[in-house]
Amino acid sequence: MSEWTPPERPEWVTRVIDEGRHMDIRSLVPLRADELMETARRNTGFNDFGSDNWQEGFHVFLQALEDEADLHLLGRLMTRSDILRWLEARLGIEAAYAQHPEIEDEIIDQPVIITGLPRSGTSILFELLAEDSRFGSPRNWEIMFPYPPPEAAQYHSDPRIERCEHLVTQWNRVVPSYATMHEMGAEIPNECIVAMSCTFRSENLPGQYQIPSYNAWYYQQDLEPAYRYYKRMLKVLQWRNPRQHWLLKAPSHLGNLSVLFRVFQDARVVITHRDPVVAQASVTNLLGTLYWMRSSKAFDARAFESLMTPDASAARLDAVVEQLEQGQLPSDQVHSFLYHDLINQPLAALETLYREMGSPLDATGRDAMQAYLARKPQGKFGKHQYSLSSGQRELYQRYQNFFGVPDEV
Asked if 249 and 115 touch (Cβ cutoff 8 Å), the reply is: yes
User: Parallel, antiparallel, or unpaired for β 334-338 and 245-249?
Assistant: unpaired
Buried/exposed 232-247: b ≥16 CB within 10 Å, e otherwise: bbbbbbbbbbebebbb
Please indicate, yes or no, if residue 236 is contained in any of the structural domains. Answer: yes
Asked if 306 and 91 touch (Cβ cutoff 8 Å), the reply is: no
Q: Which domain holds residue 352?
A: 106-403
Of 113-117, 119-123, 188-192, 307-311, the least confident: 307-311
Angle at 69 between CA 191 and CA 250, to 5 degrees: 15
Please indicate, yes or no, if residue 36 is contained in any of the structural domains. Answer: no
* Tens digits of residue pLDDT in 345-376: 999 999 999 999 999 999 999 999 999 999 87
Alpha-carbon gap, residue 279 to 205, rounded angstroms = 20
User: Parallel, antiparallel, or unpaired for β 334-338 and 135-136?
Assistant: unpaired
Instruction: Please count the structural domains in the chain.
Output: 1
Asked if 210 and 300 touch (Cβ cutoff 8 Å), the reply is: yes
Angle between helix axes 224-239 and 73-99 (nearest 10 degrees) is: 70
Query: What does the pLDDT read at residue 3?
Result: 57
* Tens digits of residue pLDDT in 148-194: 999 999 999 999 999 999 999 988 899 887 777 677 889 988 899 99
Asked if 224 and 262 touch (Cβ cutoff 8 Å), the reply is: yes
Query: What does the pLDDT read at residue 330?
Result: 96
Whether the per-residue pLDDT at 143 is higher than 50: the answer is yes
Please indicate, yes or no, if residue 74 is contained in any of the structural domains. Answer: no
Strand order in the sheet with 334-338: 135-136, 245-249, 112-116, 268-273, 334-338
Please indicate, yes or no, if residue 377 is contained in any of the structural domains. Answer: yes
User: Parallel, antiparallel, or unpaired for β 135-136 and 245-249?
Assistant: parallel
Distances (CA, A) of 3 to 27, 154, 274, 286, 385: 35, 46, 20, 12, 11
pTM score of the predicted model: 0.91
Confidence of residue 105 (pLDDT cuts 50, 70, 90): very high
Query: What does the pLDDT read at residue 366?
Result: 96
Angle between helix axes 55-64 and 33-44 (nearest 10 degrees) is: 120
Q: Give bridge partners of residue 71 from the DSSP assignment.
A: 295
Confidence of residue 386 (pLDDT cuts 50, 70, 90): very low
Close Cβ partners of 244 (under 8 Å, ≥ 6 residues apart): 109, 134, 135, 136
CATH number (domain holding residue 198):
3.40.50.300
Greater pLDDT, 127 or 27: 27
Confidence of residue 305 (pLDDT cuts 50, 70, 90): very low
Please indicate, yes or no, if residue 399 is contained in any of the structural domains. Answer: yes
DSSP state of 8: P
Please indicate, yes or no, if residue 348 is contained in any of the structural domains. Answer: yes
Please indicate, yes or no, if residue 322 is contained in any of the structural domains. Answer: yes
What is the gyration radius of the CA atoms in the chain, in angstroms? 21
Of 253-267, 277-291, 365-379, the least confident: 277-291
Please indicate, yes or no, if residue 142 is contained in any of the structural domains. Answer: yes
Q: Report residue 341 CA to chain centroid gap.
A: 23
